[in-house]
Amino acid sequence: MSDFSDLYQDLILDHQKNPRNFGSLPDANHHADGFNPLCGDKISLDMKLDDKGVIQDIHFKGSGCAISKASASMMTTVLKGKKVEEAEHLFHEFHDMVMGKIDKAPEDLGKLKVFEGVKEYPARVKCASLAWHTMDAALKNEKDVISTDDGKGSEG
């Protein structure tokens, strides 16, 4: 038992050790790259959407800290099968949660609520949200690398 269980919860440590949906998607139709210049975290995100706007598949690659890796991994497991609008909705809820903008994490975030502890660690908010910003950019197919320092993800 450590003093850090609020941040490094077992589920987070599990996902960082064994990231799900890790790799690239050869038939992706949405893609974006994200970068956190503060710590050098990098993520490359591939998504495959069908013509109804449902996320058929989503994969990520990259290197980063435990929080950014686990956040990306868990995001992919949650978003598979979701509609674009649902994904955007979760992004906003997740963002508000880690920023500490809401007192209690919304129930529909489900297991993503394990990241609620991040709000107590302002220096780590960008780590948790990098994957989500990158996902948002991928949906919009933005060409530029998404940086947490360019105002796009200017938390913390």
Partner 1 sequence: MTAPASIKTAYDVEKIRKDFPILNRQVHGKPLVYLDNAATTQKPLSVIEMEDRYYREMNANIHRGVHLLSQESTKAYEDARVTIQKFINAASSSEIIYTRGTTESINLVAQTWGRKNIQAGDEILISHLEHHSNIVPWQMLCEEKGAKLKVIPINDRGELLMDEFKKLVTSKTKLVSVGHVSNALGTINPIADIIHYAHEHGALVLIDGAQSVAHLKVDVQKLDCDFYAFSGHKIYGPTGIGVLYGKLALLNAMPPYQGGGDMIASVTFEKTLYAKPPHKFEAGTPHIAGVIGLGKALDYVTAVGLDAIAAHEHELLVYGTQALSQIKQVRIIGTAAMKAGVLSFTLGEIHPHDIGTILDRQGVAVRAGHHCAQPVMDRFNIPATARASFALYNTKPEVDLLVAAVHKVLEVFK
Among the listed residues 65, 84, 109, 145, the single contact to partner 1 using CB under 8 A: 65
Q: Check if the beta carbon of residue 79 is closer than 8 Å to that of residue 94.
A: no
Write each residue from 13 to 52 as x if it is in contact with partner 1 (CB under 8 A), else as -, in one continuous string: x------------------------xxxxx----------
User: Any contact of residue 8 with partner 1 (CB under 8 A)?
Assistant: yes
Please name which of 77, 67, 63, 72 lies closest in space to residue 120, comparing C-alpha atoms: 67
> Got the DSSP string for 29-76?
SEEEEEEETTTTEEEEEEEEE-TTSBEEEEEEEEE--HHHHHHHHHHH
User: Any contact of residue 64 with partner 1 (CB under 8 A)?
Assistant: yes
Considering only residues 98-127, where is the footprint of partner 1 by CB under 8 A?
121, 123-124, 127
Q: Are strands 55-63 and 146-147 parallel, antiparallel or unpaired?
A: unpaired
Number of residues that bind partner 1 (CB under 8 A): 20
Question: Under the rule (CB under 8 A), what is the footprint of partner 1?
Answer: 2-4, 7-8, 13, 38-42, 63-67, 121, 123-124, 127
